[in-house]
Amino acid sequence: MGLKQQAADPAADPKKRRRVGFSNIDTGVEAKDCIKIFLVSRKDEVGASDSFCIDPVDLNSFFEEDGKIYGYQGLKITVWINSISFHSYADITFQSTSDGGKGITDLKSALQTIFAETLVETKDDFLQTFSTECHYIRSMVSNGEILQHKASIGHSSNSGRAEDSDLEVIRMVMGNMAAGHLYSRLIPLVLLLVDGSNPIDIDDPRWEIYLLVQKKAVGEEDFHYILLGFAAVYRFYHYPDSSRLRISQILVLPPYQHKGYGHYLLEVLYSVAISEDVHDLTVEEPLDYFQHVRTCVDTPRLLGFDPIQPAVNSVVSHLKETRLSKKSHTSRLLPPLTAVEEVQKGLKINKKHFLHCWEVLIYLGLEPIEKYMENYTTFISDRIKSDIIGKDSETSGKRVIEVPSDYDQEMSFVMFRSQDGEATTVEMDESQTSQEEQLQKLVNERLEEIKLVARKLSLRRT
């Protein structure tokens, strides 16, 4: 890690300096405003103007309580990460330091919180890692399991993606020294790029890491691996004699994003889940974009899954032939329990995500969609209302009210059902208008998500 203080301006006239004055209060600088992080794969990319700059999720969280750095004037921090060995080097420059009331931030300690043992002390040592550790990934995964899968990743001459034969997904189980060592070097990327993630326990063998690598030739006989992305998956026990796979972290390195690699890695994970006959494959708190990718992967799988087609056709026919009203029981338009069970058993898609995809399946079946959009919007609106408030109109007669009590106030309430849907005097805390506006916003957002998935699937078919 390089730490340099820039020399003062020799042209400044000392006689013009103020002898008496009040020091300015140090307001600090946000970490995101003075730190740039670059992902580089070659020595000549270090310091180059066209190096790949990554956009961290939240740098501020690693500095002080308010995310600011104090005590530096003209601070500039440049960090390079070697995408071959995952070593890092930080170059720190500033004009001067002074305690303006908030102290002087310990930059080395803060950066080590992120980069830990990957942080190299000198630039020369960092540059040497491009040659001394060019086979790092290859050596680490040598004991891993190269997965044999049947997933199809497609072809596109404009995708910028490697040929299928160059890609491998390798599984490594934690508790193994090589797996733990490799993941430890990936932790900075997890902290910087996977929102809300914490490092996994490298000593727990229930954790598995799936590495998507490209096998790249070096000369005529040699080769090395380039890591494109990875997923950390936890294997839960499922009674009585099965297991469940949960994706905790999944990341495609920024230079390789938007080229289909995340889609490909997810297909391989499903292939593993099916071949090992686990109960299902779930995702821990999926972000919106990954949920979108997941839906784009699973909807075609569901479209080709024969056991649910009668249920899909039945709902589509109902929406085409019946005009829905706000009082319609749209819960009847959800997939039957048998379909949910078939999907979980055959495709390893859990119920919650199947319901998410179900909305897309119905949309695709309503052709021309413009003719049935009003009915479809009612269906989506009621689904969202059900998720937020409770089961659609079937619970419209139920009411919960708090009652005074000398016992635990949070546990004191009465539930009753009004007869024949009669009005009650129980009022909601929020205005009805505000709730309707919020609901409409959610409906519009969900409809846009569904349309985007439908457009992408339509492009793949053409």
Annotated catalytic residues are 284
3-state SS, residue 450 = helix
Task: Provide DSSP, 165-215.
Answer: GGEEEEEEEBTBHHHHHHHHHHHHHHHHHSTT-----TT-TTEEEEEEEEE
3-state SS, residue 232 = strand
359 forms beta bridges with none
Rounded distance between C-alpha atoms, residue 157 and residue 159, angstroms: 6
Which amino acid belongs to residue 408? D
Residues 217 and 223: beta-carbon distance below 8 Å: yes
Of 349, 318, 343, 321, the residue nearest 333 (C-alpha): 318
Could you identify the residue written with the tokens 């409906």? Answer: 443
Residues with Cβ within 8 Å of 269's Cβ and at least 6 positions away in sequence, in order, are 210, 231, 233, 245, 247, 281
3-state SS, residue 217 = strand
Rounded distance between C-alpha atoms, residue 183 and residue 251, angstroms: 13
- How is the beta sheet containing 207-218 ordered, strand by strand? 145-146, 167-173, 207-218, 222-238, 242-252, 281-283
Instruction: Determine the distance from the C-alpha atom of residue 37 to the mean position of all C-alpha atoms in its chain, rounded to a whole number.
Output: 20
Rounded distance between C-alpha atoms, residue 43 and residue 31, angstroms: 26
Rounded distance between C-alpha atoms, residue 70 and residue 253, angstroms: 31
What Å distances lie between residue 74 and 6, 92, 102, 235, 312, CA to CA?
A: 9, 10, 17, 48, 62
Of 186, 188, 3, 5, the residue nearest 90 (C-alpha): 3
Rounded distance between C-alpha atoms, residue 126 and residue 160, angstroms: 29
Backbone angles phi, psi at 4, to 5 degrees: -130, 135
